Structure 1
């Protein structure tokens, strides 16, 4: 049982690290302004930063 829990913790940590890395890379790529081939409906930046109206 201890070996199974250790293996589960090890694998879940590895999966979390991979998912975080993928999310980070996708965030950098989408923020760079280049369209991603995997997102055909997002030709221009979907989330554009606008300045607040109170400025």
Structure 2
């Protein structure tokens, strides 16, 4: 995903809040990471429906 907007940086153990109704992405460079996603609402909408693990 290409974006001209500046991405927020965070550190291990931090919480980042983002608003709904638009695509989000996360990256770690060459480091291993665990990404925990929590949400309130009707569900997650995938940009590419083929990426939705519920449909496999």
> Does the alignment reach a TM-score above 0.5?
no
Indicate the structure with greater helix content.
1
TM-score (norm 2): 0.20
Greater Cα radius of gyration, structure 1 or 2: 1
TM-score (norm 1): 0.20
